[in-house]
Chain A
Amino acid sequence: MNGARNANAGIGRAASQIHRVLTEAWRLQPLYVSLYAILLSFVVGGVLISIIGVNPFTAYWALLRGMVGGGDEIAGSVARSVPFIGSALALAFAFRAGLFNIGAEGQLLAGGITAAYVGALSWMSDLPGIVAIPLILIAGTMGGAIWGGIPGVLRTKTGAHEVISTIMLNSLVLFGVRWMVNSRDPVVLRDTESTVPRTDSISDTAVLPELVDSQPVLHVGLFALVGICFVVAFVLKRTTFGFEVGTVGLNPHASHYAGINVNRVIVASMAASGAFAGLAAASEISGTNGFFQPGTFFLMGFDGIAIALLARTNPVAIIAAALLWGSMLSGAPLMQQEADVSIDVVRIIQAMVLLFVAADAIVRYLFRVRELDQSPFKATSIEGAV
């Protein structure tokens, strides 16, 4: 009993200490809720693992080695993470404009199928890579942008809420691409030689150069997506368009008063969001798969929602959050192999991260954030009174 109370107090002290280091030493104030959420999820996940009868430290050690245990593991983890950057940006950008784009799942498919179609056009093989690669990436980006822009247009013209319309468009494109890739009569985009449903392979000239021959392959698409994050950060922070997006997101009435074309900003933001998902899909088609399969991007759009929220929609933080997300998925098989803990446990931990990020009151309570939060205020009050 007494021991439990002591332990409790100990945890509280440790939590306060962590909070202090994170916020004061590392200046991570805006992201602390996310960091605690991750920590907390691993703790709960550990409890879960020990209930199964496995030593959580053994399991996590295997997971960690699977994530970053060597050059190949690291490259594989990064490669796995790259597309998540795009799908997270799709949510984050729209979110800044006050829109909830949960259609990245569909925008990935729209971008992916467009990229695969363009990449496999017969004349692509006549083009040099320096033309063919941008072309396939632009095609995918456009596909995503159009699929993202439609809910924007619907919202401004009919008032249909983007949550509803993106969900509907997700289904529409999913069944659309399934039909296009599966159908043998008529043949739409199916590679008739292949036994599995997939599109024709893209031209060799349209393949993104490989960086590391890891599992999956790490390719140049990494630079495209990381670069886009910095571009988006710059746009939001420093440009007039970014100012318009932020203003519409925070106060559409004041935006209208201030002369901002609110409808234009809504459509543009949704299209840009879709474009990020489309780019991610195109880079995967071009650099990793070489063709399109309907299941390739399964859940990637929804993971993007979690990653974007974990990063508090900060475009640069998305890079880190996506890396964590992707490498956990990439490292999980080794944990299953060595510690006999199902890959699904990683999925559960990720779900908990999202839960704790969304319900940040739990985190605040556990880490006594509220109380500590006022310390900067107290400091100034002492200063002010002297």
Chain B
Amino acid sequence: MAQASGGAARPVLEVEGITKAFPGVVANDDVSLTLSQGEIHCLLGENGAGKSTLVNMVFGLYRPDRGTIKVRGEEVHFEDSGDAIARGIGMVHQHFQLIPVFTVAENIILGNEVTKGAFLDLDSARRQIDSLADRYGLAVDPDATVGDLSVGEQQRVELVKALFRDADILILDEPTAVLTPGEVDDFFGVVESLTGQGKSIIFITHKLREVLAVADRITVLRAGQVVGTATAEGATQQSLANLMVGRDVVFRVDKAEADPGAPVLRTQDLRVADDRGVETVTGFDVEVRAGEIFGIAGVEGNGQRELVEAICGMRPTAGGRVEMLGQETTDWSPRKINELGVAHVPENRSKHGVVAQYTIADNLVLNRYHHRKFSQRGVRNTGAINAEAQELVEQFDVRTPGVDAVIDTLSGGNQQKVIVARELTGDLKALVVAQPTRGLDVGSIEFIHRKIIELRDRGVAVLLVSAELDEILSLSDRIGVLYRGRLAGTVNAADATREELGLLMATGSSEGQR
């Protein structure tokens, strides 16, 4: 380790000419990349460009068809991730791999148990965890149950888990996609202290602002090939976006003044409890009219999930009422609400949005498989289903070898596009969207935003819930801030400033500290 400093940092990881194909797609085509010690190397690219595939090979989860991987100058052939871990490689996945009912300490030592005789030595594990936490500023409570932790905390657990196995090459696959802005800042603090102590990091993200803030070097993939490398200095958000997508990208979609019509969706004193029975929506009033986008901003965990689920019929209300299109729909079934013309893009992609083992076609008709168009006398019309799927895949630019591919083989962003495609089509009156562009690349975000605005202009009432303040600001006509389960304030988007919204989100009042 001593000879590391001085002069050009030697590469700790060299990927040379890697090719990997899946049936129907070449996910990586002759990809090369080097990672120097202490470096943050950003991997950029459209949804389906092959970023996850590449790092999965480095972590031993897939085997390359061709090409070599060298760790500290030595060629390696990983059979599984155990081999990669043994070489000091750690990975935090796009979807966390923690066991919710275990404690933090148990999760961290899982698979690498510290034992004393035949027993787990949780005490010494706890001590090690504490010292890691100190060293890198990763505050975790070893005795907390993982299921009770926020997403940001779970992510810290994943990091500690990797460090606990002595990883000094860390792969982070879209770590910031699910974090709140405050958590992102903390996270970058951690990343800095990691590289400061000699760790090297491969960092995948779709947020170009983050790339420019932390990257030492940037590699851009498109359709499995490296299309460019850059350093953070020379690059701008626009230049990176254009390189990724291969065309000019618009960050803020133009939209005309809203022309709101009659109220479509209304809640009165709505109260909803979460899974533990705690009331997290505590008297929520809103009115969304046809042809307007009402954005709900707020720090995650202020009742967003419960609010959306209650409106869409997926969660029983604890009080108050929901009205849609002039009818009371409180506690209606999801099917009945959907048949009114209310679409819902769920926040949790893998839990609610898709059936992982189903094909793209079946996922695209997941909630309308029973419509006359797709089934006659109880028999499914596969021809019509596939035709519809084919059309949506083309329209929404889902990158896939075919509509009969299992959705689990799609990249994360392309799965999201399938959900959005399903929900944004049909005869809609209202649209409830939660985190619609989470994990999408800049080009796709632009496209989805255009679609939502198009629906608004056709008279659809849109309720948008997003943790991305930029998304709220650029899409909404009116913005409400959700604070502790109720609206802390409503502002016209035209007059809204980041500062004012930030203050409302943090304190529930525009006057600041109460």
Inter-subunit contact A378/B65 (CB<8 Å): yes
Chain A at the B interface: SS class: helix
**Distance in Å: Cβ of B55 to nearest Cβ of chain A:** 19
Distance of A234 Cα from B351 Cα, bound (Å): 28
Contacts known (A257-B367, A259-B333); A381 close to B356, Cβ less than 8 A: no
Q: Which of A109-117, A120-128, A164-172, A235-243 is the contact stretch?
A: A235-243
Residues of A within 8 A of B356 (CB): 250-251
**Distance in Å: Cβ of A165 to nearest Cβ of chain B:** 24
Distance of A380 Cα from B333 Cα, bound (Å): 45
Residues of B within 8 A of A378 (CB): 65
Inter-subunit contact B334/A257 (CB<8 Å): yes
Residues of B within 8 A of A385 (CB): 19, 21, 26, 29, 65-66
Inter-subunit contact A250/B314 (CB<8 Å): no
From A243, A254, A376, A381, B354 is in contact (CB under 8 Å) with: A254
**Distance in Å: Cβ of A198 to nearest Cβ of chain B:** 42
Distance of A243 Cα from B371 Cα, bound (Å): 13
Distance of A218 Cα from B81 Cα, bound (Å): 56
Inter-subunit contact B380/A257 (CB<8 Å): no
Distance of A380 Cα from B338 Cα, bound (Å): 41
Inter-subunit contact A240/B21 (CB<8 Å): no
The 8 A CB mask of B9-39 against A (1 = contact, 0 = none) is: 0000000000111111110010000000000
Residues of A within 8 A of B283 (CB): none
Inter-subunit contact B367/A381 (CB<8 Å): no
**Distance in Å: Cβ of B67 to nearest Cβ of chain A:** 11
**CB interface residues, A 210-251, toward B, < 8 Å:** 238-243, 247, 250-251
User: Who on chain A is nearest to B367 by CB?
Assistant: A258
Inter-subunit contact A257/B19 (CB<8 Å): no
Inter-subunit contact A243/B334 (CB<8 Å): no
**Interface presence of A256 (CB below 8 A):** yes
Distance of A247 Cα from B355 Cα, bound (Å): 7
Inter-subunit contact A239/B379 (CB<8 Å): yes
Distance of A239 Cα from B380 Cα, bound (Å): 5
Residues of B within 8 A of A253 (CB): 351-352
From B22, B334, B336, A380 is in contact (CB under 8 Å) with: B22
**Distance in Å: Cβ of A356 to nearest Cβ of chain B:** 24
**Distance in Å: Cβ of A98 to nearest Cβ of chain B:** 12
**Interface presence of A23 (CB below 8 A):** no
**Distance in Å: Cβ of B389 to nearest Cβ of chain A:** 14
**Interface presence of B375 (CB below 8 A):** yes
**Interface presence of B48 (CB below 8 A):** no
Distance of A241 Cα from B344 Cα, bound (Å): 23
From A251, A256, A376, A383, B334 is in contact (CB under 8 Å) with: A256
**Interface presence of B357 (CB below 8 A):** yes
**Interface presence of A58 (CB below 8 A):** no
Distance of A378 Cα from B335 Cα, bound (Å): 44
Contacts known (A240-B380, A385-B66); A254 close to B351, Cβ less than 8 A: yes
Contacts known (A257-B334, A259-B338, A376-B23); A241 close to B357, Cβ less than 8 A: no
Contacts known (A254-B351, A254-B354, A256-B314); A247 close to B23, Cβ less than 8 A: no
Inter-subunit contact A257/B24 (CB<8 Å): no
Residues of A within 8 A of B334 (CB): 256-259
**CB interface residues, B 129-178, toward A, < 8 Å:** none
**CB interface residues, B 73-101, toward A, < 8 Å:** none
Distance of A119 Cα from B66 Cα, bound (Å): 70
User: Who on chain A is nearest to B363 by CB?
Assistant: A254
User: Who on chain A is nearest to B338 by CB?
Assistant: A259
Residues of B within 8 A of A241 (CB): 378
Distance of A376 Cα from B23 Cα, bound (Å): 8
Inter-subunit contact B26/A384 (CB<8 Å): yes
- How many of chain A's residues touch chain B, expressed as a range? 20 to 34
Inter-subunit contact B366/A380 (CB<8 Å): no
Residues of A within 8 A of B338 (CB): 259
Residues of B within 8 A of A17 (CB): none
**Interface presence of A8 (CB below 8 A):** no
Residues of A within 8 A of B24 (CB): 380
Residues of A within 8 A of B354 (CB): 251, 254
**Interface presence of B346 (CB below 8 A):** yes
Residues of B within 8 A of A384 (CB): 21, 25-26
**Interface presence of A337 (CB below 8 A):** no
Distance of A339 Cα from B21 Cα, bound (Å): 55
**Interface presence of B450 (CB below 8 A):** no
**Interface presence of B187 (CB below 8 A):** no
Residues of B within 8 A of A239 (CB): 375, 378-380
The 8 A CB mask of B318-344 against A (1 = contact, 0 = none) is: 000000000000000111101000001
Inter-subunit contact A380/B380 (CB<8 Å): no
Inter-subunit contact B353/A381 (CB<8 Å): no
Residues of A within 8 A of B23 (CB): 376-377, 380
Distance of A384 Cα from B401 Cα, bound (Å): 12
**Distance in Å: Cβ of B227 to nearest Cβ of chain A:** 18
**Interface presence of B370 (CB below 8 A):** yes
**Distance in Å: Cβ of B317 to nearest Cβ of chain A:** 16
Inter-subunit contact A381/B352 (CB<8 Å): no
Residues of B within 8 A of A50 (CB): none
Distance of A380 Cα from B27 Cα, bound (Å): 12
From B65, B344, B370, B380, A381 is in contact (CB under 8 Å) with: B65
**Interface presence of B102 (CB below 8 A):** no
**Interface presence of A261 (CB below 8 A):** yes
**CB interface residues, B 347-400, toward A, < 8 Å:** 351-358, 362, 366-367, 369-370, 375, 378-380, 382
Distance of A238 Cα from B375 Cα, bound (Å): 9
Q: Point out which of A250, A254, A385 has the most chain B C-beta atoms below 10 A from its C-beta.
A: A254
Inter-subunit contact A250/B355 (CB<8 Å): yes
Residues of A within 8 A of B335 (CB): 259-261
User: Who on chain A is nearest to B370 by CB?
Assistant: A240
Distance of A254 Cα from B23 Cα, bound (Å): 27
Distance of A383 Cα from B21 Cα, bound (Å): 9
Contacts known (A254-B351, A254-B355, A258-B367); A377 close to B380, Cβ less than 8 A: no
**Distance in Å: Cβ of A260 to nearest Cβ of chain B:** 8
Distance of A248 Cα from B353 Cα, bound (Å): 14
Distance of A198 Cα from B152 Cα, bound (Å): 67
Residues of A within 8 A of B379 (CB): 238-240
**CB interface residues, A 255-298, toward B, < 8 Å:** 256-261
Residues of A within 8 A of B355 (CB): 247, 250-251, 254
Distance of A242 Cα from B22 Cα, bound (Å): 30
Inter-subunit contact B21/A258 (CB<8 Å): no
The 4 residue pairs across chains A and B that have the minimum distance between CB atoms: A259-B335, A381-B21, A258-B367, A381-B65
Which residues from chain A sit less than 8 Å from chain B, CB to CB? 238-243, 247, 250-251, 253-254, 256-261, 376-378, 380-381, 383-385
Q: Can you give 10 A-B contacts (C-beta < 8 A)?
A: A238-B380, A239-B380, A254-B355, A258-B366, A259-B336, A261-B333, A261-B335, A380-B21, A380-B23, A385-B66
A239-B378, A247-B366, A381-B20 known; 13 new pairs, CB 8 Å cut-off, are A239-B375, A243-B362, A250-B356, A251-B355, A251-B356, A254-B351, A254-B366, A259-B336, A259-B338, A261-B333, A380-B23, A385-B19, A385-B65
